[in-house]
Amino acid sequence: MSNRSGPAFAVTHKVRDNCLCLHLQRAARAVGRRFDAALRPLGLTNGQFSLLMSLNRPVAPSIGSVAALLAMDRTTLTANLKPLERRGLVEVTVDAADKRGRRLSLTRAGQALLARAVPVWKRTHAAFERVVAGSGADRLRNDLRALS
Amino acid sequence: MSNRSGPAFAVTHKVRDNCLCLHLQRAARAVGRRFDAALRPLGLTNGQFSLLMSLNRPVAPSIGSVAALLAMDRTTLTANLKPLERRGLVEVTVDAADKRGRRLSLTRAGQALLARAVPVWKRTHAAFERVVAGSGADRLRNDLRALS
DNA sequence: ACCGATTACGTTGATATCAATATATTTGGC
DNA sequence: GCCAAATATATTGATATCAACGTAATCGGT
């Protein structure tokens, strides 16, 4: 006799097939890996690309606002900035008007690298758009935004 | 004069609004955090819950097959097993028929903890199902599966 | 039975992620 | 102006993630 104390296998199948969290993590990993591979010649990961892109704006944003934009913990963003700072792609300066705050900006090198990454993004992204074209990429984006 | 060398701001907006990779990472982080918070009383993360759930089956699977199921790097799974092994929730044994392989199985403690986590999952998951109810959770799952 | 190719996995190093905690600064009530 | 509360960020510790590299076992052709 088996003497099991776990949930019934039927419950497990239900969870595995329906869990939105698992489906999200799986897709995020898989898509992230593909972008990582495409961006590797530039020495960027998908997360670094998104972060640099979110800093490409006329007014240098704060850490908290970028963290909220990326739906990421503030302390994660602080950590993610470190390698980009070391490579001279990003600059972190104290906000003159509020010395608690930091202002995040791209260096010229960061801007140049980001510009080189854009065509890579376009090619890679187009492939994924095609994958969900039948169901509607806009609806998918709306769902993902609603979950964030 | 600004002397910028980065992509035009219009390009950045286009990428930020449309990038499926970014949308996926954002949603995966946000939803993962919510599940982590719900499962915290049990000492589990969303990833550990999904991993334990994928091991709840009659025949102990190999590392490679579970990694493929979770769309996760094989070496990541090896790392993720470590804390669960230390806590006595999972057992890793050498496959007798092929000594390269490993067989992953839940201990009784792992089964019991997983059973306690199921109602937590049900409550938390129901909330997210409602978020995407209008657009259709099944279609979302299908899209996410297609991207994996 | 031998040996090269393949398969399954482990290890290392770098980055990513978040909770808990700590520090510095600003704000608001008095 | 003073001080408690709120705000913005940094640090630490644990886990998560993957590429690159390395090792052991199996398989297949001869």
Q: What is the pLDDT of residues A10-45, one digit of tens each?
A: 999 999 999 999 999 999 999 999 999 999 999 999
Rg of chain A (C-alpha set): 20
**Residue A1 banded pLDDT, cuts 50, 70, 90:** low
Span A112-127, pLDDT tens digits: 999 999 999 999 999 9
Span B112-132, pLDDT tens digits: 999 999 999 999 999 999 999
B56, B118, B144 ranked by CB distance to A24: nearest: B144
Tell me what the pLDDT averaged over chain B comes to.
94
What per-residue confidence (pLDDT) applies to B1? Answer: 62
Span A130-148, pLDDT tens digits: 999 888 899 999 999 999 9
Residue (of A36, A111, A14) closest to B118 by Cα position: A14
- Please state the rounded mean pLDDT for residues B14-42: 96
If phi over 0 gives left and psi between -120 and 50 gives alpha, with beta otherwise, what is residue B59? beta
- Please state the rounded mean pLDDT for residues B41-46: 96
Give the up-direction half-sphere exposure of residue A63: CA atoms within 13 A in the CB hemisphere.
20
Please, what is the Cα angle at B24 between B145 and A37, to 5 degrees? 85
Q: At residue B101, what are phi and psi to the nearest 5 degrees?
A: -80, 160
B7 touches chain A (CB under 8 A): yes
If phi over 0 gives left and psi between -120 and 50 gives alpha, with beta otherwise, what is residue B3? left
- Please state the rounded mean pLDDT for residues B54-83: 96
**SS3 assignment, position A57:** coil
The rounded distance, in Å, linking the Cα atoms of B67 and B65 is 5
pLDDT-above-90 percentage for chain A: 91
Decide: CB of B23 under 7 A of nucleic strand C: no
Residue that wins the pLDDT comparison between B4 and B12: B12
The rounded distance, in Å, linking the Cα atoms of B117 and B124 is 11
Q: Closest CA to C24 C1' — which residue?
A: A100
pTM summary value: 0.91
Residue B90 Cα, gap to closest chain A Cα (Å): 12
**Residue A3 banded pLDDT, cuts 50, 70, 90:** confident
**SS3 assignment, position A103:** strand
The rounded distance, in Å, linking the Cα atoms of A124 and A46 is 11
pLDDT at B135 over 90: no
**Which window residues (16-75, chain B) lie with Cβ within 7 Å of strand D?**
45, 47-48, 72-73, 75
Nucleotides of C under 7 A from a protein CB: 7-20, 24-27
